[in-house]
Structure formats: structure tokens, C-alpha cells
Amino acid sequence: MRLLLLNTIKLIIIVVLISFCNISSALNYTKNNFTILNKLKNLESGTEGRLGIFAVNTENEHVIKYRANEIFPTGCTSKTIGVAAVLKKCMINPSILSKRIKYTKEELAEWSPVTKKYVLDGMTVQELCAASISLSDNTAMNLLLKLIGGIQGMNDFARYIGDYSFRQDNDWPAEAFSGGAGNLKDSSTPKAMVESFRKLTLGKVLDRPQRDLFTTWLINTQTGSARIRSGIPEGWIVGDKTGSGAYGSTNDLAIVWPPKHAPVLIGIYYTSDNSKATRREDVLCTATRFLIEEFVKKDKKLQTRSL
């Protein structure tokens, strides 16, 4: 009888200890999770707008999200969908990339740093794709639309890859004026954009040759030096696509390769309801640093690399 009583007491103690450990772990997780969310909330509170973030470390699938399912103007980050649609078409007919597209001076849109140089000779589809991503050339993207069925073709491609949040309503640069309270045109959510971006850069939507071209253009981007790139540790490779517009909209969509480590995907979107609000690249830079710090805490491989 005494032995039975002792065993019962031991069992009760074990159950209590296990419960305590589970509660303690849950509290620690909540505390750690609250820390990064609190940092992002405080960062956002110093602005006149909203901050939306979805980031994932593909090494361990650690996800960080903040307003990730809210609607934000995508700006030129949507060009990733348009260019990928072109590359998908090239998988069936690779010769499309070498096709030369002619255009006139009258077709030049505002912000055409590459296409304005080649009005006389035109540009190949591959060159237009590179210009659309690396320098966010608006005319280049508008010309590429003609190959994929226009704006509707972009939306169709987004649905094809399983993205039902993406919405493109205007070409470039008209899309840059979308935004503000109640305006859903040319928009998506940070979560949807990063998930689609992951499919395009790491998934099987594109074959390896097309995927390599896509990531090369992202790595060669020249418009994002003060955004996500500025918050990434030295020695890590970054490929990104920026977006900007009215209402202070300041966006960046990036894939990051730490040394000897699986990629990290980051989408940061900022916007305001004030059409004349200031763009906030500094907010994207600071948010990126917070994200990397948090990823490092839960990834032993990243902990071995100096920040």
C-alpha cells in the first residue's frame, strides 16, 4: 500500500514538472515573439503609415509576420509577376528571349532609364526583362505586357501559381498612384507576395535556366541599396525588387543568401493614407535588421556567422 502511494506521488510530481516546463516554454516563446512584434510596432508608430512584413528563413521555416495579411499597394514589386510570366512562356519557346522589340519615343513612360537609350534599335525580350527588374524600367515592363496578354495576363499568371491576393489594375507608372484608404487597385498582401516570390525563385514554376536568369536580374538590382540591402550583414548575397509610389509607399521584396545557408525571403511593405506622405527607406532598413537579429536567435547556423 505504501509503495502504491509513493508511486502515485512520484507520478503526480512528474506530471506537475512536465506541465510547468510546457507553460514555461510557452511563456518564453510568447515573450520572444512579442519582442520582435513590439520592435516592429514601435518602428511603425514612429511613422504616419502602416508597415507590413512577411519573412521566412527557409533553413528552419521560421516565419516572422506583421500585418502580413493586410492589403498594401505593391508598386513595382509586381513586376516580378510580370517578368516571371514572360519567362514561363519562354520555357515553351526559348527563342522569345532573343526576339527584338521595336518601340517609339512616344511610347516611353516616365522612368525609363534603359529603354530611352535604345529607341532607334529596340531591345530584346531578355534585355527588357533585365531592365524591368534590375532598374525597374517602366517602358520595358509595359512592352513585355504585350507578350503575356496584357495586365489580365499578369493576373492570370498569379492565379496559375496559386496567388489569389495579387491584383494588377494599371500599367506603369499609373500603378504608382494606387493606394490610400479603401483603394484596392494594384495591391496584394506581404504574405502572398513573398509566397509567390518563393515559388518563382526557389520553386518549380520556372525551369532552372529561367530561374537562374530571374535571380541574376534580382541580384543586379540597382534601386534598393537603401532598403533591405542596407540592413543585411556584409558578405550575404541579396536579390531584390523594389516598389515605390504615392502615399509614401516604399516596398521591397528580397531573397537573401547567407554564406553556406539556405535562403531567407523577406517582403516589407510600407504605405500611408496621406497621398503626399514621405517614402521611408529607413524604415525598411531598420525592419530588416530586426528580422535578421530574430532569425539569428533561432538558427544555430546563422549564430556562427558574424553580424
User: CA–CA separation, 289 vs 57, rounded Å?
Assistant: 14
d(CA 197, CA 264): 11
For residues 220 and 135, what is the distance between their CA atoms, to the nearest angstrom? Answer: 9
Q: Is 187 helix (H, G, I), strand (E, B) or coil?
A: strand
- SS3 of 225-264: the string is CCCHHHHCCCCCEEEEEEEECCCCCEEEEEEEECCCCCCE
Query: What is the full per-residue pLDDT of the chain (307 aa) written as tens digits?
Result: 444 444 444 444 433 343 434 434 333 434 445 699 999 999 999 999 999 999 999 999 999 999 999 999 999 999 999 999 999 999 999 999 999 999 999 999 999 999 999 999 999 999 999 999 999 999 999 999 999 999 999 999 999 999 999 999 999 999 999 999 999 999 999 999 999 999 999 999 999 999 999 999 999 999 999 999 999 999 999 999 999 999 999 999 999 999 999 999 999 999 999 999 999 999 999 999 999 999 999 999 998 664 4
Residue 132 C-beta-side C-alpha neighbours within 13 Å? 33
